[in-house]
Amino acid sequence: MNNAGIDVSHKELVIVVSVKGKVRKAKTFENTPSGHHAIIQLLSKLKGESRVCLEATGIYHFDLAVALSRAEGIEVMVINPKASHNFAKVLMKRSKTDAVDAEILAIYCERMPFEAWQRPADENIALKAISRRIATLTKLKTQTKNQLHALKATAETPVLVIEHIEELVTVLDKQIQVHRESAIELIHQHDTLAEAYTLITGIKGIAQASAVQMLGELMILPQDMSAKQWVAYAGLDPRQFESGSSVAKKSRISKAGNKFVRQALYMPALVATQHEPHVKGYYAHLINDNGLKKIQAVCAVMRKLLHAIHGMLKTKKEFDGTRFYTFPVEASS
């Protein structure tokens, strides 16, 4: 059995392979489909089967894990970064480089109990790809419309430029609509996705567009993740900054997570604070009683909505506003 560790970053993958206990020199590949294929080719040339260990690094490890899990003769394990960090302490590693981190993961793979990563269903992976494309097109459309607004503000802009940008906005609108219809069709073809879609669109504020974006990100997550882990994954967990006795900054969300989940939750949270009675009550409580600013209260609503969605998908139950926030009972005179 060959054991390999891969240190994952946004642009690069550093792999260290251990064959019969002997660690080979680290090799670097791009974190792209061609880079993933090159790593699979490298492991396929080794005698026997291979096990690969990598850390869960936000969004950057997922495509690699999927590619490895599809390859014949390769098993993949995805571990919590804290586990590898603590393992490195046990090994008394004093240096920290990408190559050293990859070597630690290879040794971890060799010595620790192996838990194979469960690849999400193909339809969930496809939905993620579609929802990400919608997010990209939506961002591009917003940028283009802002450019159009600026160009229309001056009489010096040629009519041809204005017309071409307006055509581009129309094209982007059509592409977004086609992708969204494709996503809805995919959802209704699979019972698990359809059930989840029905549940979350039952929350006032979550419509078709937001539901597609949320499901695209949430349905690929491991089923044993807790609500707290979902919040951390989305980067909505509060981050505290204290140093000594003189520095104590206000808590803020970490943002060290999946921005697509935060983007998908933002507008539904805003709408829910206006139209869902219990969410509206919770929002007012945070501002009036806890002294939070509006943006802080919205982030808190986003976090609690994510908790609620986690519970709904686990229990297969509809949204219950009374569990989100209970109005205080007024004291009788």
Residues 94-135 pLDDT 10s: 778 889 999 999 999 999 999 999 999 999 999 999 999 999
φ, ψ dihedrals at 249, nearest 5°: -80, 160
User: Is the separation of the CB atoms in 16 and 102 below 8 Å?
Assistant: yes
Confidence of residue 243 (pLDDT cuts 50, 70, 90): very low
Judging by DSSP bridges, how do beta strands 74-79 and 50-55 pair with one another? parallel
What ranges do the domains of the chain cover? 2-111, 122-189, 227-324
The reported pLDDT for the residue numbered 75 is 95
Widest Cα–Cα separation across the chain:
82
Q: Is the pLDDT of residue 155 over 60?
A: yes
Tens digits of per-residue pLDDT, 38-72?
A: 999 999 999 889 999 999 876 789 999 999 999 99
Structural tokens at position 248: 């104590």
User: Is the separation of the CB atoms in 211 and 134 below 8 Å?
Assistant: no
Distance CA 216, CA 134 (A): 11
Q: Give whole-number Cα distances, 222 to 52, 76, 105, 110, 129, in Å.
A: 18, 14, 21, 23, 17
Confidence of residue 240 (pLDDT cuts 50, 70, 90): very low
> May I ask the CATH class of domain 2-111?
alpha beta
Q: Is the pLDDT of residue 241 over 80?
A: no
